[in-house]
Chain A
Amino acid sequence: MGMNSGGGGGGMGDACYVYPGTPATPGRVTPDVVFRRGIYMNGSMTFDDGNSVPIWGFTDLAAGGGGGMTGGGSFPSPAMRVTEGQIVHTELTVNMMWMHTVHHHGIEPSQANDGVGHLSWDVTGGTYTYQWRPAHAGTYFYHCHTNTPLHAEMGMYGGLIVDPAPNPNDPPGTKRAFANGPIYDVEAIWAADEIDPAWHNLQWSAGTCGGDVGLNNLNPQYFIITGVDGANSALTHPGVAVNMTLGQRLLARYICAGFHPQKIDFGGLTVSVVASDGRPLPVPWETQAIEAHSAERYDCIIQPTSRGTWTVTVQFRHWRTGAVMGTARTRINVT
């Protein structure tokens, strides 16, 4: 092992079994939508108990988001939202200090555009443009696929929503989960994740050349929903908790964004699961709870029949023992 520089995600350091490259995009065409993503390696998240951990993520360069050594960025990373059938470019720019990719999880493009380092390249010292064209509306997410256990745990993910093409028979502004799918009025994206602070002080290529850096053993201490501490903050955080009026219909897009299995309980509400992993279910599934594992998504239509407050609880269960390691909670308030 050679030198490892510390801080800000580690800078250069040793890296093994990485595949640097920024080639031209095969078959590149003019896109309908462009996302310009940089990266940050110096963010942080503060929990309800006052402790904080370093966070990495993607930035929105088009919106002036910094990259690399300056600024930090949002956590989760800025969401992508596209419409079925659009040609999309995700430009990823990474300086030569690090390597990263964008894998659009659940989106199934060509090998060159799948963002898997060992089957294409890890982006460094330039820009690679991922070209893809989503065929199916639904809930996805994107994440870095370089040294993935570490980079995803560090926060390098964001929501990815594919909307159906507008139905010409619908009134303007109608929102559907998928083509001819249920109409919704209010939307929530709940990406439930767990944080092990012991993983959050490693450099970007930690462990790739060998040596035990603990990436087999995730012992989370904090449990979050869409970047907000699920201990208390997520109960009321406006980006997580839902405020709706009686008669409205909620589409809750639940993303199991951690590595351990989870169980989401809707506090006594019966939800109608209409899609999973970006595909409509043949028959909606009525349930009050869902057990899910890492990277599964479930799209839930919720239409409370009375005013009130329901607490949604995500249990995080140890992958071996099944023990509940912690919970994250938010609320649905119906007025």
Chain B
Amino acid sequence: MERRGFLKAGTAGFASLMTGTGLLSWSPRSQAATISKTFYITAGTQTMPDGVSVYVKGFSDSSADLNVPATPIICQEGDTLSITVINRLAMTHNFVIGGLAAGDPPLASTGDIPAGGSGSLTYTIPTGKAGSYLFYDNKTSYNTFLGLHGGLAIMPAGKTDELYSGSPKFTKQLFWVFNDIDPALNRAVQQGTAIPTSFTPRYFTINGLTSLPPGATGHGDTTRDALYDPRTQLEGYAGVDRTLMRILNAGMCSHAVHTHANHMEWLTDRGTVRPQVWKKDTLYLRNQLGKIDAIFPFDAPPDAHPPVTTGHFPMHLHDEMSQTAGGGMYQFGAMTEIVFK
């Protein structure tokens, strides 16, 4: 069992799983900058909606934190990323920024980071790399599933409102990082026993949390409930708050991302810009590090009569197994809320 840096992230300590920063905020610069960030690889437990405690690992903001997913990084083309990763655990890990498009080599990597040691990478972002990225640990085939992942947003230089130069525009942006948890895998890693040869996920998270429906303990708690987590919830005014979702799949399953109230504008699939923008209510999010960029336009719901501009609606995965916890508990899965204010 790994004991170094072991953290309890149950109820009271749960906030340590959070970044608490809400939406991605971004102010462009005319000059490139060096973006320095230190992550600490930490481990601990996270309590699932059915009370089961699951061992997780994260790229955390300090040695006392457990951040799943990691605090996102946002930067712009031309910037230099300078990332240091300190491994507080007793196993070798690594830190890899995946490539932009499927099949691309990783953008950058630290290489192996020995137990108790540190690694670093420095990478100057060339023009043409604007987009959404997942960073993760691929030292094993399953480390990403344990929680060692996070999102990197590279903005086009000087832009505040485009995914890539000339893309449809948005006013807000956020990450939706999905993960699927098979506690048998996490337990095997924690206990140092044989890794299962097949996985059956039992918990499904968005930005590290599950939804907690009305009546559930923690419902509405912005630090616990994915319906209300400010990093996750889509909220805005009709006709105003076009929001870019940078949708990343760190988990083992593919998913169908479904928004109520509006169709999404589908911009990219696995890092490649789509030939045309399709309007979709459901998007196919691949596994094996799949990703999608889409804009939720915050148009008034088109089929309401009488017309409305306010209301609460779900974003949920339509592969409905992902809407459960522990084999039941519908509405305790990977779901958030869309709030028309």
Report which A residues bind B (CB closer than 8 A).
16-17, 19, 27, 29, 87, 104-111, 113-114, 116, 118-119, 131-136, 147-150, 152-153, 206-218, 256, 259-261, 276-279, 281-283, 291-296, 319-320, 322
Contact = CB atoms under 8 A, between A and B. Distances in A.
Main SS of the interface on chain B? loop
Interface of B: 50, 180, 199-202, 213-216, 252-256, 258, 260-263, 275-285, 287, 301-306, 308, 311-314, 318-321, 323-324, 326-331, 337
Contact of B330 (A136, A148, A296): A148
A216 B284 contact: no
B207 to A, nearest CB: 19
Nearest to B302: A135
B216 A17 contact: yes
Among A118, A147, A216, which residue has the most Cβ atoms of chain B within 10 A? A216
Contacts of B328: 206-213, 215
B276 A283 contact: yes
Contact of B305 (A87, A259, A283): A87
B256 A295 contact: yes
B279 A277 contact: yes
Given A17-B331, A132-B303, A147-B330, A111 B50 contact: no
A147 B142 CA distance: 31
B327 A105 contact: no
Contact of B301 (A110, A259, A291, A295): A110
Given A279-B263, A281-B278, A215 B330 contact: yes
Given A135-B302, A136-B302, A296-B256, A259 B330 contact: no
Main SS of the interface on chain A? loop
Contacts of A150: 330
B210 to A, nearest CB: 12
Among A108, A148, A279, A291, which residue has the most Cβ atoms of chain B within 10 A? A108
29 contacts: A17-B329, A108-B263, A108-B281, A109-B304, A118-B213, A119-B312, A133-B303, A134-B303, A136-B303, A209-B328, A210-B50, A214-B327, A215-B321, A215-B328, A216-B201, A216-B321, A216-B326, A216-B327, A259-B319, A261-B254, A277-B263, A279-B279, A281-B276, A283-B276, A291-B284, A293-B318, A294-B256, A295-B281, A320-B287
A320 B330 contact: no
